[in-house]
Amino acid sequence: MKLACNTRMVPGNTFAEKLSKIAAFGFEGVEVRLLEDDMHPDKWDEIEKAIEESILKPSSTICITKGFMVPLDSKENLEIKIASARASLDVSARLGIGAFVTPEYRPQNPLPLWDGPRAMTKFEEELLYHLMAEVAEYAEKVNALALLEPINRYETHFYFRIQDVKELINKVASNRLKIVIDFFHMNLEESNIAESIRNGVGFIQHVQLGDSNRLLPGRGHTDFVSGFTALRQIGYAGYMALECQVPKNPSEELPKCVRYLRQCIDKSNK
């Protein structure tokens, strides 16, 4: 397993400067986070050149387009979501990595407190299936992978657990849809992180790392060793990318985190 870092976590005046720092901190890969302006041809050429010249390998891409925060609650918004997903898949196809496709990411209202998360309506289920079917078809067309992330109940009401996404992928019946797991979200939603990972064999394509408090690993109470052990058991050998908050100076904290995670990886191999 290899360590990567999301570009939003590292300061830098240029994309190349960010990549240089990520490599210096000891990471092997980079999770590419792009805003819509970054995907303009003029800016994109600069970004693609920086990636080509870097020793880092891209692990996945998160494209924040105008449709990212749009709710999937109408046929009009479905078309916006489809366009957003296609733009992300176009980028991922050029880089040869998976693209995050997120049907819903926004604070829930009302918050799911004692009563838990609200269920999808039948109409929302139909929209979600239609979106995923369109995503799978386009991913096949451009030879890309779409990554679906189980997100905690406070940020979506569509799917929360690995099992939820497995069921959706099986319903669409496409090998172009894969799962990205995030230890922060799993800490909230999975009753047993290691067991859930083992049940995700054949579906898990990418891993994100954040502790129980959404800070750097080692700052909360998440048992990363058991999770990494489960990943080894299912044969996962891909990237594990930091996607969380850095509490202090990244130049000091990120190298420390790399050392901590490598210790966890070593322990998971015993």
Q: How far is CA 263 from its chain centroid?
A: 23
Q: What integer is the mean pLDDT of 136-161? A: 97
pLDDT for 269:
87
- Domain 2-268 sits in which CATH superfamily? Divalent-metal-dependent TIM barrel enzymes (3.20.20.150)
pLDDT digits (tens, 9 = 90+) for 124-142: 999 999 999 999 999 999 9
Over the chain, what is the mean pLDDT? 95
> What is the residue whose two structure tokens read 């090998």?
175
Catalytic residue among 28, 134, 149, 189: 149
Catalytic residue among 28, 31, 243, 253: 243
What's the pTM value of the predicted model, to 2 decimals?
Answer: 0.95
104 class by beta-carbon count within 10 Å (0-12 exposed, 13-18 middle, 19+ buried): buried
16 class by beta-carbon count within 10 Å (0-12 exposed, 13-18 middle, 19+ buried): middle
pLDDT digits (tens, 9 = 90+) for 196-239: 999 999 999 999 999 999 999 999 999 999 999 999 999 999 99
241 strand-pairing partners = 4, 208
Question: Which has more confidence, 188 or 115?
Answer: 188
Is 149 among the catalytic positions? yes
The CB density around residue 102, as the number of other CB atoms within 10 Å, is: 24
**Bridge pairing between strands 239-242 and 204-209:** parallel
Task: Provide, rounded to the nearest whole percent, the portion of the chain with pLDDT above 90.
Answer: 91
Is 134 among the catalytic positions? no
Q: Is the pLDDT of residue 259 over 90?
A: yes
